[in-house]
Each structure stands twice: as structure tokens, then as C-alpha cells.
Amino acid sequence: MTKVAVITGASRGIGAAAAVEFGRRGYAVVVNYHSRKDAADAVVEAVEQAGGKGIAVPGDMRMRDEAAGLINAAVEHFGRVDTLVCNAAIQVKRAAFADLPWDDFAAKVTDELAASYHVTQLALPIMREQRYGRLVYVSSGMAEGPGAPDMIGHGTAKAALNTFARYIAHEEGPHRIIANVVAPGYVRTDATAAAATALRGIEARITEHSPLRRVADPVDIGRVIAMFGSEDCSYATGVVVPVNGGIMLAH
């Protein structure tokens, strides 16, 4: 039986790397994207080259009907949903608290939770019927506190996501559904390129202070997501796993 992984926000970066890793493990992968069909199609091709199967499905996970379309597509094409990775990125307005309008702050927190809430709620009945499921939520080390300036909206939203995931783990454990959080530190992606320019020297500082002496690439995070989203994870649930190269060990 081929297992099926649904990954939101999988057309680039961490989501794309996770999709390819699931493909390498022989999964059928549903690659969700918001607007970049060409990028999602390229990820599907990479999944298939790695040994898996794949389809690309559009959808804004903040919208319940579009989240339903994603889950329905997985079932129609592959018959089941074994793993759900909630990775869809929600744009954040960078500002210090004193300069951050309530509407912008509230939108970030609400959108972050909505992007995981709907698709999780829609996938759970399928996983319950199967008596098997793996849920992986992609958070951030900034949920634990300031890791970069002007990121209070992002950090607060991700902290809420971490708590959400713990409640899911507690409620769904009796149904043999496991839920965990992967919390990367800084990762070198297209999305962080602008931030790296704004925060001059961030990669050099991370390289200097990390025991591994390098910054993370998406594949580093994708492999951890695949581990927690597969049968390799059978007894760890409700945990938030930092994936940051050990940068906090000396602090």
C-alpha cells in the first residue's frame, strides 16, 4: 500500500524539499500551491524522479472550501491521506510592536491558524477511519522568543500554532494519530533572501555560532519533516522539535 502525504505550501523552499523527501520514501505526494503552478509542477516532477508519485493542487488554505478541495483531490487520486504537513507560508508585516497596527497583527495570527485549522479538521475524519495519521506543523524558533527584530507578529502566531498542535496531539492520540511541530531556525530559501539582506551578516553570524558551522538548507528541514511524518515516528507526539543546528546550545 502506497502511503499518501499532503503538503501545503509545497511549491518551493521547505515544503518542496519535504515533498521530494517523501517521494524518495515512496510516498504519493499532493503538492499544494497558492499561485505558482509552474513551480509546483516542477516539484511533482522531482518527486517522481525520486521514486514517488505526485500531483499538484492549487488552493489557499485559509479558505475552507479550498482546503476541502485539496483533501478531496488526495482521496480521489490516491484513496487516502496518511500524512498532512501544514507548511503554507503566511506573509508577515515586519514591525516593532509600537509601530504594528492591530489589524496587521491580528491578520497574521488569524491567517496562520486558519491555514492549519481547516485542512487539519478536514483530514482528521479520514485519518480516524484509517486508524493512522501523521500531522506535522512547520513553526519557527521565534515562537520561543525574539530571534530577529520586528517579528513579534510572526513569533506570536507561531507560538499559537505550537499550542494548537499540542491540543491536536492530545485529542487525536486515541485514534492513533500523531501530531508534532518542526521549528526551524534560519533557513536559506528564496523567501529568506530579502531578510538576509535586511539583516546584514545574519548567515555569517549563524555560521560562526552554530556548532555545525553552517546555515540550514531546505533539505535539512525537509528530512526532519519526513521523519516525523512517516512510520519512523511512532511514539513521539505533541513535541516541538527545534531544527537550528544547535545554535542555542551555548546560550
Contact 122, 71 (CB under 8 A): yes
Structural domains in the chain plus CATH codes: 4-188+218-243 (3.40.50.720)
Residue 195: predicted pLDDT: 59
Predicted confidence at residue 39, as pLDDT, reads: 96
Give pTM, 2 decimals: 0.93
Q: Yes or no: say if 39 and 15 are a contact pair by the CB < 8 Å rule.
A: no
Q: Please give the pLDDT value at position 40.
A: 97
The pLDDT of residue 170 is 98
Query: Which pLDDT belongs to residue 150?
Result: 84
Q: What is residue 75's predicted lDDT score, i.e. its pLDDT?
A: 98
Q: Mind listing the pLDDT tens digit for each residue in 73-97?
A: 999 999 999 999 999 988 878 899 9
Residue pair 245/210 in contact (Cβ under 8 Å)? The answer is yes
pLDDT tens readout for residues 200-222 = 577 777 788 788 888 888 999 99
Q: What integer pLDDT is reported at residue 145 of this predicted model? A: 83
pLDDT of residue 198: 58
Helix ranges (H only) for 131-217 are 152-172, 190-198, 202-209
3-state secondary structure of 1: coil
251 residues of the chain, pLDDT tens digit each: 899 999 999 999 999 999 999 999 999 999 999 989 999 999 999 999 999 999 999 999 999 999 999 999 999 999 999 999 999 988 878 899 999 999 999 999 999 999 999 999 999 999 999 999 999 999 988 788 887 778 899 999 999 999 999 999 999 999 999 999 999 988 888 766 665 565 557 777 778 878 888 888 899 999 999 999 999 999 999 999 999 888 776 55
pLDDT given for residue 55 in this prediction: 98
Residues 10-47 as b/e (b if ≥16 CB within 10 A, e otherwise) read: bbbbbbbbbbbbbbbbebbbbbbbbeeeebbbbbbebb
